[in-house]
Structures are given as structure tokens and as C-alpha cells.
Amino acid sequence: MVIEVDNSPTSSKDINNLVDNAIAKDSAISPIPEDNSLPSLNISPSDPLKKDTPATDPTTDDLTNILSPLALRCSGRERKIPSRFALTTIDDISTCDNSNIAFIAVAGEPKTYQEAIQLPHSKQWEQAVKFKYVQLQKLGIFEVVDGLPNGRKAIGSRIVFREKRDGHGNLVKFKAHIVAKGFSQIPGEDFTNTFSSVAKFSTLRIFFSYIAYLDWYLHHVDVVAAYLHGPLDEDIYMTIPNGIENSSSGRYWKLKKVLYGLKQARR
């Protein structure tokens, strides 16, 4: 590269400017301003990404060839939810033969006992409540007392209704759970610790590996109302749920074992 000058440079700054201008002319790039500001870009109003746009500058064709694979391609296909994921009502499930159901929105479960006895399946709900009440009696969960000791306050209770369905969405069972409103328990009086022992999967894997190593047989059993067999150390009084006995009777349940909803309940 040959640099032609009219006058000999007098300072190093002049020499640097001459070199920068020569490099700029040699590479077809505009010279760098002395204030180090970025040169302005003249953008053509035409879109360089479109192949049918005539290009007047050779550099525009090169830019188009480079950026054309990066252009966004929007599909005009209409997106729809798969039919196996669109089942949100029981009526749709009853008329569908597809067994791959991922989500079922169950509606119609009563919130209170008064609402349950007004539904078309009121007899089934009443039988579910009686079944749970008899089960609690057989397990010795409570004893009925007349009134509360001085200075004691009873916690609330309610009945939770649930519909049990199979994999096809068919109604197979009506369930009712009598639960305590554990959020009203008083710390230090109704409960102290709120922890519960839980089996870890690592422990189960060691247990199963040991059984396989010794070539033993493994049997699986299902304990009915397994969470209702825990003893209760504190004296807890609970109001009788509406639907089993009138709350204005003045009688209460003194819990002898843990019940669903208590702070001491197993998890």
C-alpha cells in the first residue's frame, strides 16, 4: 500500500490520520471520525430480506444471501388442542371411547351437607356420611361428651364430599370425609409439634434390593383408614359435624385418635 502526501506530516496525529484514510480507501470503508463517533448508516427503504427486491448495491445482495436463512417463517396452519386433552366435562367423557384422558374437570361435588341432600344423588351422599360415621365409631376416634370443661374451646368440623371416578370418567363411588378444622387449634394447648415421619424413596430402594438379594416374597396390603390409627396425646374437643347431629344439641366430640385436618394428623 502506497501513501501519497502533498505535504510532509508534522506530527504523529497527522501520520495516524493519513494511515487511517489510506486504509479506509483501500477497503472501501468510510474513514473513522476524529471524535470516535459511529458513522451513520443509510438504510434503503426496501427490505433486504425479500428475494424479489431488486438490489442496486453489491453489498445488499451479499447481506440478503447471509440473512435469508434467518428470516422468520410464520405458518398459517391453525393450531388446535388434541382431542385427548380437550375433555373437560363429564358429558364429553361418557360419549368418548378414548381411554387416554389426561385431565378431567369434575364439577357438581357438594360443598356442604345441606347442598348434598338437595342434589339428585342425595341418598348416595347420605349413605357415604353414615358409612364414615360408623367407621369412626368402630375405630374409637371419638367419644361424645355433654359440654366442655371450663376454659376449653371446641374446634370446628365439616364434611368433605368427593366423587370417585375410574379411568374412563365413570362415577363409581361417593365418598365423605369428616375432617377437623385444624387451623383453629391453639399452639401449646391443642398441639405442640407438627412433624410427621415420611418414608424416603432411598429407604424403599434399599429395602427392595435386600428382598431381591435374599430372594424373598413381598406382599402388599392396604390398610383401611390408615391415617386414623394414630394415638392422640392432647385433649381436643370438636363440634359435631352438621348432618350427623344438630350443632345446637350442646354435645361435642372428645377426640381420642387423630382425625383428618388436625395438626397431629398423619400425612
| E-strand stretches of 94-221 | 142-146, 157-165, 171-180
Domain containing residue 36:
12-70
Query: Mean pLDDT across the stretch 208-220?
Result: 93
Amino acid at site 70: L
pLDDT in tens, 154-210: 999 999 999 988 888 888 999 999 999 988 888 877 788 776 677 789 999 999 999
Instruction: Clarify whether residues 130 and 228 are in a common domain.
Output: yes
State the pairing for strand pair 251-257/142-146. Answer: antiparallel
Same domain, 125 and 251: yes
Q: Is the pLDDT of residue 50 over 60?
A: no
pLDDT at 2: 56
Give the pLDDT of residue 267: 59
Q: φ and ψ at 93, to 5 degrees?
A: -70, -40
Q: Contact 136/241 with Cβ under 8 angstroms?
A: no
Residue 264 placed within a domain: no
**Residue 125 confidence (pLDDT) above 70:** yes
Q: Is residue 209 a part of any domain in this protein? A: yes
More confident residue, 255 or 68: 255
Here the cell at position 22 is: 489510506
| Main-chain phi, psi angles of 157, to 5 degrees | -150, 165
Per DSSP bridges, beta strands 157-165 and 171-180 are: antiparallel
Q: Say yes or no to pLDDT of 148 above 80.
A: yes
Q: Would you say residue 128 has pLDDT above 50?
A: yes
CA atoms of 48 and 62, how far apart (whole Å):
10
Looking at the structure, tell me whether residues 177 and 82 fall in a common domain.
no
Torsion sign over Cα 87, 90, 96, 99: positive
Which region, left, alpha or beta, applies to residue 243 given φ > 0 means left and ψ of -120 to 50 means alpha? left
Q: Which residue has better confidence, 110 or 17?
A: 110
pLDDT, position 166 = 87
Average pLDDT over residues 95-105: 48
103 lies in the same domain as 157: no
Do residues 183 and 263 lie in contact, with contact meaning Cβ atoms separated by under 8 Å? no
Please report the pLDDT score of residue 106 as a whole number: 45
Residues 119 and 133 grouped into a single domain = yes
Question: Do residue 122 and residue 185 come from a single domain?
Answer: yes
Q: Is residue 265 part of a domain?
A: no
| Grid cell listed for 195 | 412433624
Q: Tens of pLDDT along 223-245? A: 877 778 788 888 899 999 888 87
Please enumerate in sequence order all residues whose Cβ is within 8 A of that of 191, keeping only pairs 6 or more positions apart, or say none. Answer: 185, 234, 262, 263, 264
Considering the domain architecture, whether residues 44 and 162 belong to the same structural domain is answered as no
Whether residues 58 and 84 share a domain: the answer is: no
| Residue 152 confidence (pLDDT) | 86
Name the pLDDT band for 87 (thresholds 50, 70, 90).
very low
Give 109's pLDDT tier (boundaries 50, 70, 90): confident
The answer, as to whether pTM is greater than 0.85, is no
> Hey, what's the cell of 40?
451513520
Count structural domains, the chain. 3
